[in-house]
Every structure is written in C-alpha cells, then in structure tokens.
Amino acid sequence: MKYIVIGLGDYGYVLAEELAAVGHEVIGVDKESTRVEPIKEKLAAAFMMDATDEQALSALPLHNVDAVIVAIGENFGASVRVAALLVQMKVEHIFARANDEVHRSILQAFKIEKILSPEADAAHNLVERIEFGYDIEIFRVDKDYAVAKFSVPGKLYGYTVPQLHIEEEFGLRLMATIRGKVQKNALGIKYTERNVVEVIPEDFALAEGDQLVVFGKYSDFRRFWRAL
C-alpha cells in the first residue's frame, strides 16, 4: 500500500519508518531538512516542503495513495491547516494526529476518517500493562470493545476451556487458543513454540505456555481478569 506521512517529528518519523519496513511505499514530508535527511534513504521518497502551502501540497500525489497521514504534533495551526487543505482537495482517506480534545473536535468537524491519539494510546497501553501484567496484548476495537490475547495464568493449568465459563459468566467470546510448548535450544535455554488450535476439543486442558484470544467488552474482560 502507499502512504504519504506529513510531519516527520518523533511520531511521524517512527510511523513512516515502520510502514516502510513492513513493505509499504511511503512518501515522507517535512519542512525541516534535519528531519528529512535521516529518513530519505528508508522511504520511497522524502520531500522538504511546507505542507501548509497549498501549491506545494498539491504537488504531492495525494490522489494516488491509500491514505495521507497528518502526523504534525507540535504545531497545532499547521496540523489544522494541512487537514483542512486535504479535505478541500477532496483527498479520500485522511488520517490525522490530535494532541488534545480541542484539536480532536476540530478534526472531527472536518470529518477526518481516522483521528490518531498516540500519546493517549501509549498511556492506555501502559495502564493496561500495569493492571493486567506484561504478558498480555489488548487491541481496542472502539471505546467499549476489545480483543485481548494473554498467557494462561498458572492457576488455570489443567482446566478445560468449557470449565472457564468465559462466555456464560463474562460475555467474552473465545476466538482462538494458542498451544504453547516449552522447548530447549542447543544452549539449554527455554523458549515457547506456539501453534494455533483451530478446533478445540472438549477435553483440551490448558497448560504452561498456552494463550487465549478473546473478544468482548473491555469492562467484561477486566471483570474476568479480576476473577482470576
């Protein structure tokens, strides 16, 4: 897929770099040469330009990419102006970073497709890791629902999935079970080899290294986790 990332500060730089690293075609844009030069060899193209300049912005292939991402963080006015220009130019898919609720409200008024809140997301992730532990991944689908993948706690070893009553008592839907088998490498160091179990037998007993993937309300998952 093809993306244009406007604003190559800390967030935009990492975003552009990571997108390119996994095979996407990325064009980076920033008005500061000190931000463009270090990344230009990693991207399909990188331009030093002021994206708030309508004429300069229109020179980019805005209608030939899958999305334009406004990653400008430190300059509120520049972020809003670039987003407004992109809407005016009828760019189909626009993602934009919001620094606070006022910024978010303005972007919502523009009907931006996806509003990004990296600082808030990072804070949520840290709280979740502190609350639930470090061997868990939670993906928020929206403000109410989430997908959670977590390692089975030791107290549940030997239980079968039906015995957990995940759906009946907690309203969570089991999406996958990942069987973990603890192995040792040539140096005697333990590692876990994992395989997804597509069809879960009734007598499938949970063991060390296993993981569960569930979907449901975030509040119900918290209730389930506390019950453990």
pLDDT in tens, 38-81: 999 999 999 999 999 999 999 999 999 999 999 997 788 999 99
Q: Which backbone phi and psi does 24 adopt, to 5 degrees?
A: -85, 155
Per-residue pLDDT of 204-214, as tens digits, reads: 888 887 888 89
Q: Does residue 208 share a domain with residue 151?
A: yes
Q: Give the other-Cβ count within 10 Å of 195's Cβ.
A: 10
Q: Does residue 8 share a domain with residue 111?
A: yes
Question: Which residues lie below 8 Å from residue 69, measured CB to CB, with a gap of 6+?
Answer: 3, 4, 5, 6, 12, 15, 94, 95, 96, 97, 116
189: number of CA atoms within 13 Å, CB side? Answer: 2
For residues 8-13, give the mean pLDDT. Answer: 90
Q: Does residue 126 share a domain with residue 72?
A: no
pLDDT-derived band at 120, boundaries 50, 70, 90: low
Q: Which two structure tokens, joined as six digits, stand for 179? A: 């069987």
User: Which of 62, 82, 116 is the endpoint of a domain?
Assistant: 116
Residue type, 66: D
Q: Does residue 140 share a domain with residue 195?
A: yes
Q: Tell me the pTM.
A: 0.61
User: Which of 59, 81, 116 is the endpoint of a domain?
Assistant: 116
Q: Is residue 115 within 8 Å of 107, Cβ to Cβ? A: yes
CA distances from 43 to 20, 25, 126, 131, 209 (A): 6, 7, 30, 38, 38
Q: Does residue 141 share a domain with residue 98?
A: no
Q: Does residue 59 share a domain with residue 95?
A: yes
Q: Does residue 109 share a domain with residue 126?
A: no
Structural domain including 196 reads 121-227
Residue type, 111: K
pLDDT, mean over the chain = 86
